[in-house]
Structure 1
Amino acid sequence: MPNTHSEIHLHFVFTPKFRAALITPDWEIRLHKYITGIVQKNDHKMLAINGTEDHIHMLIGYRPAQSIPSLIQDVKADSSQWINNNKFCPTRFEWQSGYGAFSYSKSQIPGVIRYIQNQKEHHGKIKFLDEYKLLLDEFEIGYNEKYIFKIPE
């Protein structure tokens, strides 16, 4: 669209189904590159991507021509198919339904990038669910404990 300008930075968090620790170091970097390709194919800009064996964080420069749910659907569907086609997991890989999406101003971006880049060190100190609840609280997002990325009981 002519004369349309945007500066939107979104931080996404999502997990394998049931928060299973399935993302292993031997293919994790390839997964990050693959997801980056999906994001770029959809005309967004990947600013940072990282995570641990049970979740992924990504920060993107978002272009509003595509809806957020559509982007995340593309990322999850394409990447899970890629994981399964390459047989990286002993069982069928699926992403958990749902995701976190958080917006940041341009001045906050360097700190968010550092935070994402240091995920492994960060999670030596804090568990994923505790971290995720802190994000929800920081953004004043109300939540029901039973709907947060949980392992089935």
Structure 2
Amino acid sequence: MTSPNSKVYLFIHVITCVKNKEPLLTKPVRTVLFAHIKKHATESGINVLSVNGTEDHMHAVVQMMATQNLAQIMKSIRTESAAWINEGNFIKNHFEWDDSFAALSISPSSVKQVLDYIEKQEEHHKTKTLESELEVFQKIQI
């Protein structure tokens, strides 16, 4: 049982891709989509501190609560946002997120640095590919 006085500081940096890494998220679509994701997440009790990305993927920082699990959070965000895009006809193609995602825990002292990184996604991806970004996960050794 979780006490209402529990203090939980679980910050997760999540990256999820458009199905087949298709470049479907144009700048105008991203602008409305990411605002919608934050709004829907808040309404669903999910604390999304930041969300941004490029044409083929999205980054988010989520502060998890004691009773939440990451798979459920991501399912909620991806299922609802894909339905919202498709129902709103924001793009010509049928939209889907990839089934997988990558996630890294963030120490509370590094949250601001990761938020800054996510804010600058378009600038970052002028020089780095998504693949090079995801290589970080391959290099993690415990």
- TM-score, length-scaled by structure 2: 0.92
What is the aligned residue count? 140
Q: CA deviation at 1:39?
A: 2.1
Unaligned 5+ runs, structure 2: none
Which residue pairs with 1:30 in the alignment? 32
Which residue pairs with 1:109 in the alignment? 111
- CA contact under 8 A between 1:42 and 1:71: conserved in structure 2? no
Q: Distance in 2 between matches of 1:97 and 1:48?
A: 21
Q: Distance in 2 between matches of 1:130 and 1:84?
A: 30
Q: Distance in 1 between matches of 2:128 and 2:88?
A: 31
Which residue pairs with 1:54 in the alignment? 56
Which residue pairs with 1:150 in the alignment? none
What per-residue deviation string (whole Å, max 9, x for no partner) do you get for residues 35-66 of structure 1? 11232123232221110000000012211312
> 1:64-103, aligned counterparts within 5 Å?
64-103=66-105
Q: What is the RMSD of the two structures over their aligned residues, measured on CA atoms?
A: 1.5
Percent identity among equivalent residues?
Answer: 27
Residue 36 of structure 1 aligns with an amino acid whose one-letter code is K
- CA contact under 8 A between 1:8 and 1:62: conserved in structure 2? yes
Q: CA deviation at 1:138?
A: 5.1
Q: Distance in 2 between matches of 1:138 and 1:110?
A: 23
- CA contact under 8 A between 2:13 and 2:60: conserved in structure 1? yes
3-state DSSP of counterpart to 1:107: helix
> 1:5-20, aligned counterparts within 5 Å?
5-20=7-22
- TM-score, length-scaled by structure 1: 0.85
- CA contact under 8 A between 2:14 and 2:61: conserved in structure 1? yes
Unaligned 5+ runs, structure 1: 142-153
- CA contact under 8 A between 2:46 and 2:73: conserved in structure 1? no
